[in-house]
Amino acid sequence: MRFTKIRLTKDASNRLRFLAGKTGLTPNLLCRMGFCLSLEEPKVPNPNEFEEEEREFNRYTLLGEYDALYISLLQQRLHQDGLGTDDLEGYFRAHLNRGISLLQQRVRSVADLANLVPQPSSGRTAKR
């Protein structure tokens, strides 16, 4: 099944507005970051917990030229979780909604975005 529209919960939509106001970043960039944060979480999100209530995104607007990459990341995660791709849209929506919540918990300003980037371990030395 090929889905083209993604709708957020009312809560995620409100959080996204808050984040956009605090960071000045566009909602699609914030959604991409949140989606990746959710993929990193060990627990599988339940698609049934995330109603399609409010803000709607065109999938291409949301993911842009990286659409295939994000869908591949989701498919890999579903494979790791022992799940099929029958409800790809539902799991995409679940990770997106959960990710927006995770992002809002960690980011209060643009400066906080740097904390999301993994830091190199201190035991390594730089190559010359």
Contact 74, 95 (CB under 8 A): yes
Bridge partners of 6, per DSSP, are 57
Bridge partners of 58, per DSSP, are 5
Contact 86, 92 (CB under 8 A): no
Question: What sign for the dihedral angle of Cα 58, 62, 68, 74?
Answer: negative
* H or E element in which residue 106 lies: helix 88-106
Contact 83, 44 (CB under 8 A): yes
Q: Given this model, what pLDDT does residue 57 score?
A: 86
pTM: 0.85
| CB-count exposure of residue 50 (10 Å: 0-12, 13-18, 19+) | buried
Give the start-to-end residue ranges of the domains of the chain: 5-109
Q: Given this model, what pLDDT does residue 55 score?
A: 83
Q: Given this model, what pLDDT does residue 119 score?
A: 65
Instruction: Answer yes or no: CATH 3.40.50.10540 is held by domain 5-109.
Output: no
Q: pLDDT tens for the chain, 128 residues: list them.
A: 478 898 899 999 999 999 999 888 999 999 999 999 999 999 999 998 888 888 888 889 899 899 999 999 999 999 999 998 888 899 999 999 999 999 999 887 777 776 776 666 655 555 54
